[in-house]
Amino acid sequence: MARKDITSRLGVDVEWTLMGTGPAIMQAFGRGELDLAYIGLPPAIIAMEQGSPVICIAGGHMEGTVMAGRSRWLGFPDAGDLGAVLGQFAGRTIGVPGNGSIHDVILKDAIARYAPDRNIAVRNYPWADLVTEAIATDEVAAAFGTPALAMAIKRFAGGKILYPPSRLWPDNPSYGIVADRSFLEAQHEMVGQFLLAHEEAEMVLRNDPADAARTIADHVAVIDQAFVLETLQVSPRYCAQLTPAYISSTMAFVGALRKLGYIKRELAQHEIFDTSLIAKVHPEKDHY
């Protein structure tokens, strides 16, 4: 859905802001610059635990973290399980977007669980483009990030997917809709309309990815339709609903975040999610 379309539907001027990582988004919430955001939930949970007055009100995408690297490395299934794939990088560095992003948390949790003795270093970058460049120059040996990052590594660094998103962390909340609580209360009806538009956009991603790729490519201008379509096909699990699997996977992140030292206490489900609005907007079965 085009920006002018959503602005017309909501009856207000909508200002869109692009940010490099989830932690940067939560910092903007803290400065009072955002009312709603598309974001991977771990950085939102970190901010919630620190007192940020935000709540997740809708889903969006599952399983949006991929491991990628140069083609010389073995990937799944040739190398075996995740421990074997990570084991190739003993003594090396893996690049990932910002500290506390969903990709960063999945990477550090994977190292802690499957390769704790392999001396694998993690290097964080403020923008995914910098991770692609780091792969191309061998500054890092592999990367964790979005499907778009994986496709950029494939196209611009002669790379490939080393471990698929469905196996890294099943049903992970790669992004959802987070809202400032006071904004949600004051603009409840308008947020409901926004979620209707959100699900319509998710429907296009599911049912007509070629059209979605064309729209995205035309808007972004620096990438072509083929690149976007290939990116969308890496993990085509799009829906606005907050399913039990989505919520359960998110709650597993709470434990991981505490274990990794990002939070001091484990939040309860009601502190992270408010499903009341999406239940009205999307009463039918989910489409993930």
Domains of the chain, by residue range, sit at 3-63+171-281, 66-168
Per-residue confidence (pLDDT) for residue 1, from 0 to 100: 46
- Output the pLDDT for position 142: 98
**pLDDT at 20 exceeding the cut of 90:** no
Pick the CATH number of 66-168 from 3.40.190.10, 3.40.50.2300, 2.60.120.260, 3.40.47.10: 3.40.190.10
What is the pLDDT at residue 216? 94
Query: Which runs of consecutive H residues, i.e. helices, occur in the chain?
Result: 3-10, 22-30, 41-49, 82-87, 102-114, 128-136, 147-156, 165-168, 181-186, 188-207, 209-220, 225-234, 244-259, 269-272, 276-281
What is the spatial distance between Cα 252 and Cα 270, in angstroms, rounded to a whole number? 14
CA distance 181 to 157: 42
Mean pLDDT computed over 108-134: 96
Q: Is the pLDDT of residue 78 over 70?
A: yes
Q: Are strands 121-125 and 93-97 parallel, antiparallel or unpaired?
A: parallel
Round the average pLDDT of the chain to a whole number and report it: 95
249's CB contacts (< 8 A; 6+ apart) are 62, 169, 170, 171, 172, 173
Q: Are 141 and 94 in contact (CB under 8 A)?
A: yes
DSSP letter assigned to residue 273 = B
Section 231-246 average pLDDT: 97
pLDDT single digits (tens) 132-191: 999 999 999 999 999 999 999 999 999 999 999 999 999 999 999 999 999 999 999 999
Give me the residue label for tokens 């007192």: 51
**pLDDT > 90 fraction of the chain, expressed in percent and rounded:** 90
Q: Cis peptide before 77, with omega less than 30 degrees from 0?
A: yes
* Segment 232-253 mean pLDDT: 97
Superfamily of domain 3-63+171-281: Periplasmic binding protein-like II (3.40.190.10)
pTM higher than 0.85, yes or no? yes
